[in-house]
Amino acid sequence: MRGADKSMQQKRPWYRVSGLVVAPAVAFVLMAFFAWGLFNRDDALPSAMVDKSVPEFSLPPVLGRDDGLSTQDLAGHVSLVNVFASWCVPCRAEHPLFIELAEIGEVPLYGINYKDPPEQARAWLDELGDPYTRIGADRDGRVGIEWGVYGVPETYVIAADGTIAYRHVGPITRTILQDTIMPMVRELKSSTPEKVAQ
C-alpha cells in the first residue's frame, strides 16, 4: 500500500505541471484566433447606408464638451465619422492613428460615442486624447441603429453632399488609413467644392 502511495505522489506533480502548461497554451491559442479574426475580418461588410444620405440625427455632447453632433455638421465637406466606446478594446488600438490624423488636419474627424456612461467616455478621452472635431453621445444606441452600426469601432467616409461613401467595420490600421480611406477622402475632396468645416 505504501508503495502505491509513493507511486501516486510521484505522478501527481507531472499531472499538475502538464495542467499548468496546457490550460494557458489553450487560452493563448484561442486569444490568437480571436485577435486574428478581429483584425482580418472583411472591412467591406455590405451596408444599406453606403451611397445614401446620412440619417437625420442630433446627439448631445459628451460630458465635458460643449458641442454635440448632428446631420447638419456633416454637410458641405468631406469628413470621417468614427463610432467608438470606452469599453471597446479595438477602439483603443486605432485611437493613436486618429490622434495623428487630427494633428495633420487633412480631414475633420467626428465621433459618435456609442452606449457609454458619460463619466467613462470623458475619462477615456482624457486618458487617450481627443482627436474629434465634434462628438455626439449616443447613450442608448438609437443613432447607431439608424447608421446600421454592426459593432464598434466603425468608421465612415462622408462625402460633401452628405452621403455615406464608405464604411469600415473594425479597427482602422495604418495600411487601411493610407491605402483605402485617405485616397478616397482625397478623391472626394478633389471632385467636390467644400465649405469650411466647423
Cα separation, 128 vs 126, in Å, equals: 6
Mind listing the pLDDT tens digit of every residue in the chain (198 residues)?
555 555 555 555 555 555 566 666 656 555 554 454 454 444 445 556 788 999 999 999 999 999 999 999 999 999 999 999 999 999 999 999 999 999 999 999 999 999 999 999 999 999 999 999 999 999 999 999 999 998 999 999 999 999 999 999 999 999 999 999 999 999 999 987 655 444
* 10: its cell numbers: 510521484
CATH number for 58-191: choose from 2.60.40.10, 3.40.30.10, 3.30.1380.10, 1.10.540.10.
3.40.30.10
Pick left, alpha or beta for residue 49 (phi over 0 → left; psi -120 to 50 → alpha; otherwise beta): alpha
Strand locations in the chain (E):
58-59, 69-70, 79-84, 109-114, 134-138, 154-158, 164-169
pTM here?
0.75
Cα first-last separation, the chain: 85
